[in-house]
Every structure is written in C-alpha cells, then in structure tokens.
Amino acid sequence: MNVTIDFGGTNIKIGLVREGSVLVKTSIPALSDNGLLTRLPDVEQGIRRLLSGAGVSLADCRGIGIALPGIIDGEGKTLLSIKDKYTDALGFDFAGWSASQLGLPLVVENDARAALLGEIAYGNARGEKDAVLVIFGTGIGTAAMIGGEVVRGRHGQAGILGGHLATDIYGERCNCGNPGCLEAQASHWAIPLRAAKLPGFADSMLAGEKDWGYETILRASEEGDAFAARLEADLLLHWGAGIVNLIHAYDPEVVILSGGLMKSADRLLPRLAERVRETAWTPWGTPRFTVAEDPETSVLLGMSYLASRQQHASKGE
Ligand SMILES: [Zn+2]
C-alpha cells in the first residue's frame, strides 16, 4: 500500500493506493500562489486523516509517491525546474521531509509521466509499450514511452515538454519563454487570453463569460456562435498539430488523451483522429486513440506503481 500525492495548480490530491486501485482519496486546496512548502503541514495532516478514516496506519504503508507539474531529477528525488507555481520547492529534499515526518521512503515524478505509467499499468492502455499521453488540463502535459521504457532524457525533460512544442511560431509567447507553444495557443489558461485579441470576439457570447475555457467554447459553438465555431476549428488545428508533433517524435502505437477537454471526447476525438490521419507521417498505419477515464486517478496509480518499483529496486529485487 502506498500514499500518493498529486500537486495540481488548483488542488492537491492525496490517495491511498493498493495493487492498482485507489482505496480512498481526498483533496485540499493547492493555494499554489503561496508556494508548496507552506502546504506541507496540511498535506501531512491530510495524509493522517485519510489513513485514520480508512483504518490504516502509516506502518501499513510502504512508501510515498509525489507528482509535480515540473522537471524532476533522474533519481526521482527533487524538482529541477517549474514555471510560475511551486517555485519554492526547487531543490527541496522531499525524501528528507517524508523520512522525518512520516517515516516512509519517497519518490517524485512529473505528473504527466505518472499518468502515462498509471494508464499503461492499470488503465485503458494496459500492456502497451509504445505510447504518448496528452493531458489537456489547465495547461497541457505530455509524456512518452518507447519500447516499454518511459522516456526521460539526459536532463529529465524528454517527453514531458510536448505542450511546449510550437504550433505557431508567430503566436503567443509562452510562460516558458518560447513563442508559439501549443500550451500558449490552445490550453485552458491560454485560450481566453488569445481569443480576446481575435477579430469578432466582442460580438461573441464568449465575451460575456468569466473564467471560461474548453467547455465554454464547445458549448457556444454548439449553440451557433460563429466566433466560437471558428475558434473551435482553429483549436482543433493546434491540438491536432500537437499530437502529430508527438507522433513524429516518439513513434507511438497508441495516443492516450486525458484531462478536462476529454469530457467532450465524443465531439472532438473523431475530428482529431481524422486530422492526424491526414497529416501524420506514419507509413505503418495510424496510432490508436484511447481516452483516460480519470486523469486524477491515473496520476495516483502511476505514483503508486513508481513507489512500489523503487521499493523493489532498493531491496535489489
Ligand atoms: Zn512553452
């Protein structure tokens, strides 16, 4: 049994996982503008509450897995780089914190990589060896696996920066510094900023919305809003280009799509698949598409998988 923690931008999710199933989970506000380290006492309390509610003690748990939306070192111990949020956790000794506060070994991994592992170990992509995953959340997270190995690269950044491959070199500058990143054109946080600069926005029903994103556009488009329909068509080109970039880079057999945007999978998936068929260079055929049922659960399951793997490795099994 492992404790798993997913530090998202809005919520911190904590789960207790045994053999590929989340037994219980809870969530506390991330308050990520205040950093990560100030949240650790509440995280610790959240873990203790969750365990006692489930009638489990810390001694019953074998380890902890923490998922973060940034670049992690090859040992799975520290956060090397992150944009905007949680920057106070750079270089923080998570394993030391866990050992002193909870008495458990700990592993850290990028959240999208964890989700990919969770999907392949226990989810809709079970048993696949060559896969890419795209999570359309607040930002756009990605991960890749080749020949059964999750791609990490020399500096820990391979596979996870697919949201930061450009889909328009004349486009918006991203918070990573690169102009035209997929994430800066077509992610939940970026769409309202870009849309507001496009002609016709003021006449759209979107102009009257607050805190809008993926779902709002699709709804407005369905309701006949001409601007929203044009925006949806434009976004499909960006999302399609992002997926084709990943296919060209990593040669996957399956493309796993996840995140809030996939609530509209029925509407989007056929069009994304068609775009990929039209534009990807894959002479062997076309990668299969699959949708992750619950991104949150994939991350927690993946972190538990990694925590267990680390326990086996440290025992030399
Ligand atoms: Zn970027």
Closest CA to 250 of 135, 125, 164, 143: 143
Domain span at residue 133 reads 124-292
My answer on whether 172 and 34 are in the same domain is no
**CA distances for 159 relative to 9, 120, 141, 305, angstroms:** 20, 16, 9, 19
Q: What's the CA-to-centroid distance between 169 and ligand 1, angstroms?
A: 11
Q: What's the CA-to-centroid distance between 41 and ligand 1, angstroms?
A: 32
Q: What's the CA-to-centroid distance between 70 and ligand 1, angstroms?
A: 12
My answer on whether 37 and 83 are in the same domain is yes
My answer on whether 173 and 131 are in the same domain is yes
Q: What's the CA-to-centroid distance between 28 and ligand 1, angstroms?
A: 28
Mean pLDDT value of segment 296-314: 90
My answer on whether 130 and 96 are in the same domain is no
Residue 139 has a pLDDT of 92
Q: What angle do CA 155, 149, 142 make, to 5 degrees?
A: 65
Q: Which of 47-51, 132-136, 279-283, 307-311 has the lowest mean pLDDT?
A: 307-311
Mean pLDDT value of segment 68-93: 93
Q: What's the CA-to-centroid distance between 305 and ligand 1, angstroms?
A: 29
Q: What's the CA-to-centroid distance between 191 and ligand 1, angstroms?
A: 14
Q: What's the CA-to-centroid distance between 283 and ligand 1, angstroms?
A: 30
For residue 303, tell me if it sits in a domain. no
For residue 298, tell me if it sits in a domain. no
Q: What's the CA-to-centroid distance between 26 and ligand 1, angstroms?
A: 31
For residue 116, tell me if it sits in a domain. no
> Final residue of a domain: which of 111, 135, 162?
111
Residue 317 has a pLDDT of 61
Q: Is the pLDDT of residue 247 over 70?
A: yes
Q: What's the CA-to-centroid distance between 140 and ligand 1, angstroms?
A: 10
Q: Per residue in 187-204, pLDDT tens?
A: 999 999 999 999 999 999
What is the pLDDT of the chain when averaged over all its residues? 94
For residue 308, tell me if it sits in a domain. no
My answer on whether 68 and 156 are in the same domain is no
My answer on whether 129 and 233 are in the same domain is yes
Q: What's the CA-to-centroid distance between 161 and ligand 1, angstroms?
A: 8
My answer on whether 128 and 235 are in the same domain is yes
For residue 118, tell me if it sits in a domain. no
My answer on whether 23 and 155 are in the same domain is no
For residue 316, tell me if it sits in a domain. no
Q: What's the CA-to-centroid distance between 174 and ligand 1, angstroms?
A: 4
Q: What's the CA-to-centroid distance between 187 and ligand 1, angstroms?
A: 11
Q: What's the CA-to-centroid distance between 62 and ligand 1, angstroms?
A: 37
Q: Is the pLDDT of residue 211 over 90?
A: no
Place of tokens 């534009």: 279
Q: What's the CA-to-centroid distance between 141 and ligand 1, angstroms?
A: 11
> Final residue of a domain: which of 111, 138, 156?
111
My answer on whether 205 and 94 are in the same domain is no
Q: What's the CA-to-centroid distance between 170 and ligand 1, angstroms?
A: 13
- For residue 202, what are the contacts with CB-CB under 8 A and spacing of at least 6? none
Place of tokens 């326990």: 311
Whole-angstrom Cα distance, residue 111 to residue 296?
Answer: 10
Q: Per residue in 143-162, pLDDT tens?
A: 999 999 999 999 999 999 99
Whole-angstrom Cα distance, residue 110 to residue 185?
Answer: 22
Strand order in the sheet with 11-18: 21-29, 11-18, 2-7, 63-68, 106-110
Strand order in the sheet with 149-150: 149-150, 140-146, 131-136, 254-259, 288-291
Whole-angstrom Cα distance, residue 287 to residue 285?
Answer: 7
Q: Is the pLDDT of residue 84 over 70?
A: yes
Q: Is the pLDDT of residue 18 over 80?
A: yes
Q: How many domains does the chain have?
A: 2
Count the neighbouring beta carbons within 10 Å of the beta carbon of residue 274: 12
My answer on whether 89 and 143 are in the same domain is no
For residue 140, tell me if it sits in a domain. yes
Count the neighbouring beta carbons within 10 Å of the beta carbon of residue 289: 16
Q: What's the CA-to-centroid distance between 60 and ligand 1, angstroms?
A: 41
> What is the percentage of the chain residues whose pLDDT exceeds 70?
99
Q: Per residue in 43-53, pLDDT tens?
A: 999 999 999 99
Whole-angstrom Cα distance, residue 29 to residue 11?
Answer: 5
My answer on whether 138 and 107 are in the same domain is no
Q: Is the pLDDT of residue 315 over 80?
A: no
- Which residues lie across from 145 on neighbouring strands? 131, 150
- For residue 40, what are the contacts with CB-CB under 8 A and spacing of at least 6? 97, 101
Q: What's the CA-to-centroid distance between 256 and ligand 1, angstroms?
A: 21
Q: What's the CA-to-centroid distance between 13 and ligand 1, angstroms?
A: 25
Q: What's the CA-to-centroid distance between 184 and ligand 1, angstroms?
A: 6
My answer on whether 88 and 141 are in the same domain is no
Secondary structure (3-state) at 107: strand
Q: What's the CA-to-centroid distance between 239 and ligand 1, angstroms?
A: 14
**CA distances for 27 relative to 4, 10, 15, 108, 203, angstroms:** 12, 10, 9, 19, 39
> Final residue of a domain: which of 46, 80, 111?
111
CATH code of 67's domain: 3.30.420.40
